[in-house]
């Protein structure tokens, strides 16, 4: 029987209330709880205080605001999966949310919780990194913006400090953009063996689409900041197509650092990175309709 160690429970009634509670040492935010509570049961996490933010409806939103898609930290995975506006502008979110955990867990786990858990195998970190999203972090002194690519300090570690709370994630919406996520896992609910996400902005004409910018996120393969920066650089300015996408996949596979584990050996994971990156890029490009 797995039992968390003793802990104090506090329920936040507002963001300001949560922030005041989070100033105490050894305090953790409790949202969906589907990463934190299993870790507490295994005594991998032993916080002194839990601050339950599930009642903070003001953090549970998904909406288009000008040229940004804004996703509240307390939006559940199921909310993002069923969000028409998110799917319209970023199919990558629907691709990824279909394969995050399982349908029951997705009803409770939150977008903000996934990012803050900072598990190297967690899917949304790579997705938001590919989309060059920005994290909005609230503190009692105000809020600060951190690019998701600078949000993680390492496995299970983020830039969020004591007395701070991830409030939302903002994703820039740009014209001519397509996106997709490709994941290989052993079974429903399991972490990725490897996964790749692509967000492509195309310009030019239909018969010669040129890559204006490329974002490539990688999950579970030891990619620095969850991105394939060398492959992104390679693609910028090139003609979009199977050839450049395959080459980008090979570059991504070369520069990541997968570890051999029960999900597979290193060379298999590199093979997956090359293939999944190319597939995600192809599907992302197919989302974009350019003028003839």
Partner 1 sequence: MTMRVAVTVNGTEYARDVEPRLLLIHFIRDELGLTGSHWGCDTSNCGSCVVWLDGKPVKSCTVLAAMADGHAVRTVEGLERDGQLDPVQRGFIECHGLQCGFCTPGMMMTARWLLDHNPDPDEAEIREAISGQICRCTGYENIVRAVRWAAGQARADGAPGDGPA
Q: Which residues bind partner 1 (CB under 8 A)?
A: 1-9, 11, 30, 33-34, 37-38, 40-41, 50, 52, 54, 101-105, 107-108, 188-189
119 φ/ψ angles, rounded to the nearest 5 degrees: -70, 130
Please, which residue, 41 or 271, has the CB nearer to partner 1? 41
Least spacing, CB of residue 52 vs partner 1, in Å: 6
Please, which residue, 68 or 82, has the CB nearer to partner 1? 82
Q: Output 240-244 pairs: Cβ under 8 A, ≥24 positions apart.
A: 240/200, 240/202, 240/209, 240/210, 240/211, 240/281, 240/285, 241/209, 241/285, 242/278, 242/282, 244/211
Least spacing, CB of residue 22 vs partner 1, in Å: 17
Length of the chain: 292
Indicate the pairing of strand 27-30 with strand 49-52.
parallel
Q: How far is CA 23 from the centre of its chain?
A: 26
Please, which residue, 165 or 273, has the CB nearer to partner 1? 165
Helix, strand, or coil here: 106?
Answer: helix
**Contact criterion met (CB below 8 Å) for 94 and 123:** no
Indicate the pairing of strand 8-11 with strand 49-52.
parallel
Q: How many angstroms separate the most distant Cα atoms in the chain?
A: 65
Please, which residue, 8 or 65, has the CB nearer to partner 1? 8
Least spacing, CB of residue 112 vs partner 1, in Å: 16
Least spacing, CB of residue 240 vs partner 1, in Å: 33
Least spacing, CB of residue 14 vs partner 1, in Å: 16
Least spacing, CB of residue 107 vs partner 1, in Å: 5
Please, which residue, 52 or 119, has the CB nearer to partner 1? 52
Please, which residue, 5 or 14, has the CB nearer to partner 1? 5
């Amino acid at each position: 029987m797995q039992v968390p160690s003793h802990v104090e429970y506090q329920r936040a009634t507002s963001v300001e209330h949560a922030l005041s509670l989070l100033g105490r040492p050894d305090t953790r935010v409790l949202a969906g709880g589907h990463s934190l509570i299993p870790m507490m049961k295994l005594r991998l996490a032993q916080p002194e205080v839990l601050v339950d933010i599930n009642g903070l409806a003001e953090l549970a939103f998904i909406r288009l605001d000008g040229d940004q898609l804004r996703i509240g930290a307390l939006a559940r995975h199921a909310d993002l999966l069923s969000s028409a506006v998110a799917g319209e502008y970023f199919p990558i979110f629907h691709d990824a949310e279909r394969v995050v955990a399982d349908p029951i867990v997705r009803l409770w786990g939150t977008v903000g919780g996934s990012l803050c858990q900072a598990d190297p195998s967690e899917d949304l970190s790579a997705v938001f990194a590919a989309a060059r999203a920005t994290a909005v972090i609230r503190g009692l002194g105000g809020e600060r913006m951190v690019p998701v690519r600078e949000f993680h300090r390492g496995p299970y570690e983020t830039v969020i400090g004591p007395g701070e709370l991830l409030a939302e994630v903002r994703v820039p919406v740009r014209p001519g953009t397509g996106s997709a996520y490709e994941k290989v896992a052993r079974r429903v609910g399991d972490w990725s063996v490897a996964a790749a996400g692509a967000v492509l902005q195309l310009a030019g004409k239909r018969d010669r689409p040129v890559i204006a910018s490329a974002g490539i996120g990688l999950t579970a393969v030891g990619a620095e900041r969850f991105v394939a920066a060398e492959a992104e650089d390679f693609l910028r300015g090139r003609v979009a197509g199977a050839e450049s996408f395959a080459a980008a996949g090979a570059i991504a596979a070369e520069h990541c650092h997968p570890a051999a584990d029960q999900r597979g050996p290193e060379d298999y994971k590199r093979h997956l990175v090359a293939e999944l990156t190319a597939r995600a890029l192809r599907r992302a490009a197919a989302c974009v309709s350019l003028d003839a």
